[in-house]
Structure 1
């Protein structure tokens, strides 16, 4: 009887968010009303993939866009390097859930993994879920450092309500183990990935994504373990990473399940930053006319587009004596509810490979990878609303004007500066991690900020000190007991 009640509780926890979750192939994943204890794994996994990019993106805009000098809004505490628990805790609750949520990405992900790990018929779905688990947890640990990992999401299955925090070094070691195991499990001859929102269930595509994540993880370790970094990068490249834009995990949102940035851009001003605008003007980057535009007034107040003449663009400046900003994010392209979300851009793979060649981790042509990265990103923008187009002639002209030349360090700087430019708007959190890893692009901190340097870690949510005090307090010991924006995560030492 207790087991029957428990299964009913599980269904109640999952059913509400799941009915609103899927944006395509919804009919394939149905809950059986006559089998209350059965929740189809594909339905739950689909929910996880959708909600990863449908969630509130305020922490990425308020903090990461501000830190990386992509833009400015009067709403953002991140511009002044001010810690704001109301913002910092939202990324935590978006993924983990909190006292006011009955479901979350991690709860659903851990649930589906526990339900299918011993089912040989769903081996590819299990492998894909393990891969996505790495993707999600890497975002969390790179944001906060040491986090609940081994015991996370186990409240229902194991009755663990106060999970211990794992060291980031141990989490990364498990990422590597999990990706290797998932890659080995993927089987083109078995049933495809159920609930797949990206690749129509194709295991081969998930293998490319897994190797691309392994590449990202390897490059993340260049400061703390360059030998392992080199070995992982070589392993990933040999295993087969993404090769084109068609390999990207792109979530196709709609008006029922909007892109997560819709909510932020719908009620905030978002000026482009002077650092970004001036750089793109100097390099004659055709993407600037896509990233921003001028309007007669704020769009939230009924403003309309005036011009995409980039010569008129003035970005937000830290210097109060500079002219007021005139350019805003391009709302027609980035704000619509059906704006697709690029979870992991193929261009980033090429930039990482280019850097890896220069560091001697792999052999190859760094310039070829650099050019592929630039080309891929510019071409990908045609998938956005209004289908903005950059011609091949424009791409070629940009590459001629911005060649990969100079010393090894200068080339690494150029590659990672391109990584930064291409990370607007979706990947500000990943760009922030990449900046902490490499130091590029070279950014001048806000001279009027509440701390002298650009933040490098997000504080733990204050709610954790009420709900999980012993474990979060133990975790803080790795950061000298200080819960602020100035600490560094393990790989950023």
Structure 2
């Protein structure tokens, strides 16, 4: 595994450039900045550095009400409407596109087919997270560089269909042989294959309200191709105990000394009465030795006595705490829901319960580092025990708990299912929980015609704000 991700990336790039100058007589007519063999795995590694930004956001954690602000409460009151997506295109997506379209990749870094397949899986994952935030986005005409500075916006439906095909291509292309410079799976392409199919599975579930027939086909295809089978398959970004590669929340709490984030009252009040064994990981006790969640979306004028409430748990904000992005438990909750909906060949409550129970167990194992103390007692709780009449609600609620701190994913699942039953902040001028994020304000002038066309084609309202809905978020 790469020891110092950013430093090693710069070192590797330097080596590639300088290698073109080693023998002047042989390279006088060679451009050292355009080597004949490109390093696809270095480009992939650089894209991987952006993974924690998908989850570690001071905005995403508030939409599903995982955290409450102790001060500066604008984020939890939805003051910001427009968010910039440019960095995702010029950063990780451009790096990955350069791998996918490059005809001179270096086979010494692993089978070229695998380098391209991994790049396609990551492109699908990054794009999926973006379209679920904004809806319609530049896709088919994006990443063309100077060839097209004004790409059209594709509908979210078209983007989803394109990503399903991209993941199909990746799954079919993977061959034996690991790749280099892989900081999440150590080059194990079998784990990448499982990840791609798990992403495919979760994307399929997202269509449950808008196109159930398509959802069912894509879901079962992903199952057949092979998804995650253990927590060791999780996509978890491995932060390091060093400043250049440290966890976002460590930087916020410890390095900057900002106790700005308490665990929210909604999630503490859901977990505490059930003696959820994950609560001590998610939250610290207050100075009185109790778990107390902070009211969500407090007015900015409120003075919070921080010691009275539970701040984000120490285990989640260590310098090297991992960030969980796509997990085995997510896949199990998806299988439980699909079985309950009758999508799979083994559909029914028996299969749904089996996957639901296992999903909770694996969630506890993930968060508690395989310590299952308290799990057996937790599973006897009447509100936790699988109930065929309340199954979809139970699955949705438990999925919400499991996705703690993976804010944008928890928010997407809340929008799709309505679980748990969250309320917007009181005394907030009637502003509702956002259904999407607004486009960058620059797009109104940088890409005017395509921006206007995208807003005009919104499926439910025609306003670029937080209340418009993405395609799959059917009222």
Higher relative helix content: 1
Distance 1:292 1:475 in 2: 41
Aligned pairs, how many? 438
1:292 maps to 2:288: no
1:109 — aligned with what?
96
Closer/same/farther in 2, CA of residues 166 and 458 from structure 1, 3 Å limit: same
For 1:336, what is the secondary structure of its paired residue? coil
Distance 2:259 2:101 in 1: 40
Q: Which has the higher contact order (CA 8 A, sep 6+)?
A: 2
TM-superposed CA distance for 1:169, in Å, is 0.5
Distance 1:80 1:376 in 2: 33
1:21 maps to 2:6: yes
**In the alignment, which of 236, 241, 244 is matched to residue 250 of structure 1?**
236
Contact 1:465/1:473 (<8 A) preserved = yes
1:6 — aligned with what?
none
TM-score (normalised: structure 1): 0.82
1:83 maps to 2:80: yes
**In the alignment, which of 445, 449, 460 is matched to residue 439 of structure 2?**
460
Which has the higher mean CA deviation after the structures are superposed, 266-275 or 166-175? 266-275
TM-superposed CA distance for 1:119, in Å, is 8.0
For 2:456, what is the secondary structure of its paired residue? helix
Contact 2:81/2:437 (<8 A) preserved = no
Contact 1:375/1:395 (<8 A) preserved = yes
Contact 2:267/2:293 (<8 A) preserved = no
TM-superposed CA distance for 1:339, in Å, is 1.6
Distance 1:372 1:139 in 2: 26
For 2:229, what is the secondary structure of its paired residue? coil
**In the alignment, which of 356, 361, 367 is matched to residue 338 of structure 2?**
356
1:65 — aligned with what?
61
Which has the higher mean CA deviation after the structures are superposed, 229-238 or 142-151? 229-238
**In the alignment, which of 138, 143, 159 is matched to residue 171 of structure 1?**
159
1:418 maps to 2:404: no
1:48 — aligned with what?
47
For 1:51, what is the secondary structure of its paired residue? coil
TM-superposed CA distance for 1:374, in Å, is 1.2
Distance 1:107 1:37 in 2: 17
2:198 — aligned with what?
212
TM-score (normalised: structure 2): 0.85
Distance 1:202 1:20 in 2: 18
Q: How does 1:33-44 map to 2 (within 5 A)?
A: 33=18, 34=20, 35-38=32-35, 39-44=38-43
Closer/same/farther in 2, CA of residues 20 and 413 from structure 1, 3 Å limit: same
Distance 2:429 2:158 in 1: 32
Contact 1:168/1:490 (<8 A) preserved = yes
Any stretches of 5+ residues in structure 2 without a counterpart?
21-31
Distance 1:23 1:72 in 2: 37
Any stretches of 5+ residues in structure 1 without a counterpart?
1-18, 98-103, 296-305, 384-389
TM-superposed CA distance for 1:125, in Å, is 0.8
